[in-house]
């Protein structure tokens, strides 16, 4: 009996230790959010009523059920078939990013949500038009009254409900998170991939809960890539030379499912993205065997679809 207890204790300490020392942290299994607001936000997220010609919703570019919160296009397309020229990152786990957008111009999800609604290429709406349309809609008037207790729907409430929904869009229990919690083992190939990811230095930019999403870094840190004025990089915000080709590091959560890759969708496959990253950001040409192992590791970062989508 004592022996069993001792073994259990050692296993627990080992698992806790692993959690504390590993540079990647598991996604929490539950997050706090207001259920009523989030349900309303879910409806708004999927409703094209929020775009000028009623053809585009948030979900047009962030398909939650089939495309892991992205649109699988190189660059997203908004109202009247206009291209945004930029690849849509996933909205899954965006709540854990330190800033939003490739250039980090939004400090949080609230600030972010204003972007697409007002952007003439995406949804092209004014605050007043959003309020007018929703207040003319008896179903929404009733729903907002139930959640916010007011007779008139305000733009602030619309954003508030969408943000509350986005808080629920987390994808916990990936194979890798279960490994971190000491619940399962990785295969030999996956584990070797993870070790390479750490040893080569991918981890210096891709770490934390989102395996990214917590710093601004260069694309081309060692071997520069061509700079284009259309880049959605930090330079757009700061105007400093230093910030050309510098982006918010994308999250690698669910990365096997969020192709194509990079801010312009220029890498079609995960293999290609991994090869280019290693070459340009570490100055190292990966062998095919190393690519295979790293990709096997990256595939373990695919989590479970958010609970709120099953309701
Ligand atoms: C026309 C397509 C389109 C629509 C509609 C759209 N988005 Fe996006 N979304 C994008 C693109 C493209 C980006 C990246 C833009 C950039 O970084 O400059 C983005 C970025 C984001 C991000 C930041 C993620 C990150 O990692 O930085 C969030 C969150 C988000 N969108 C949520 C929403 C919400 C909420 C709505 C609806 C109110 C919405 N989007 C509507 C295309 C779209
Ligand atoms: C110096 C920091 C840095 C290092 C080191 C680094 N990355 Fe990146 N990674 C980035 C940045 C910045 C981007 C965004 C580039 C862009 O979109 O133009 C990115 C993008 C990616 C993407 C595409 C994600 C998406 O959704 O578009 C993958 C996959 C990736 N990195 C994997 C790796 C791997 C594997 C390594 C190690 C071989 C690595 N990275 C090393 C900073 C880094």
Closest C-alpha among 261, 286, 276 to residue 225: 276
Whether residue 257 has its Cβ less than 6 Å from ligand 2? no
Mutation test of ligand 1: which of 77, 115, 129 has the most ligand atoms closer than 8 Å to its C-beta? 115
Contact 131, 153 (CB under 8 A): yes
CA-based torsion, 284, 285, 288, 292: positive or negative? positive
The token duo for 80 is 């009247």
pLDDT in tens, 90-120: 999 999 999 999 999 999 999 999 999 999 9
pLDDT in tens, 38-53: 999 999 999 999 999 9
Tell me the Cα Rg of the chain.
21
Which value, to the nearest 10 degrees, does the dihedral of the CA atoms of residues 15, 16, 17, 23 take?
A: 100
107/268 Cα distance (integer angstroms): 29
Longest Cα pair distance anywhere in the chain, in angstroms?
71
Whether residue 162 has its Cβ less than 6 Å from ligand 1? yes
Nearest CA residue ID for atom 19, ligand 1: 88
pLDDT score of 51? 97
- 51 CA: nearest ligand 1 atom: 5
pLDDT in tens, 156-199: 999 999 999 999 999 999 999 999 999 999 999 999 999 999 99
Contact 121, 82 (CB under 8 A): yes
């Amino acid at each position: 009996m004592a022996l069993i207890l001792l073994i259990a204790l050692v296993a627990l300490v080992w698992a806790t230790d692993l959690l504390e020392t590993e540079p990647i942290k598991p996604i929490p299994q539950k997050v706090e959010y207001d259920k009523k607001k989030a349900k309303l936000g879910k409806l708004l997220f999927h409703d094209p009523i929020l775009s000028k010609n009623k053809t585009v919703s948030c979900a047009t570019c962030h398909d939650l059920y089939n495309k892991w919160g992205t649109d699988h296009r190189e660059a997203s397309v908004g109202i009247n078939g206009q291209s945004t020229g930029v690849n849509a990152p996933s909205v899954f786990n965006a709540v854990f990013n330190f800033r939003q957008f490739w250039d980090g111009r939004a400090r949080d999800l609230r600030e972010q949500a204003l972007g697409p609604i007002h952007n003439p290429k995406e949804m092209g709406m004014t605050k007043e038009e959003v309020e007018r349309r929703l207040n003319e809609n008896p179903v929404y008037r009733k729903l907002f009254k139930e959640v916010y207790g007011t007779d008139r729907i305000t733009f602030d409430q619309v954003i508030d409900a969408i943000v509350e929904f986005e808080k629920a869009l987390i994808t916990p229990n990936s194979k890798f998170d279960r490994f971190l919690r000491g619940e399962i083992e990785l295969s030999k190939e996956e584990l070797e991939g993870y070790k390479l990811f750490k040893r080569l230095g991918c981890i210096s930019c891709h770490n934390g809960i989102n395996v990214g999403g917590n710093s601004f870094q260069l694309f081309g840190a060692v071997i520069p890539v061509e700079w284009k004025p259309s880049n959605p990089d930090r330079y757009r915000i700061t105007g400093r030379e230093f910030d050309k080709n510098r982006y918010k590091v994308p999250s690698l959560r669910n990365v096997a499912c969020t192709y194509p890759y990079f801010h312009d969708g220029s890498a079609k496959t995960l293999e290609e993205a991994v090869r280019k990253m290693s070459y340009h950001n570490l100055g190292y040409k990966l062998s095919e065997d190393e690519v295979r192992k790293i990709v096997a590791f990256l595939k373990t970062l695919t989590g479970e679809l958010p609970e709120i989508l099953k309701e």
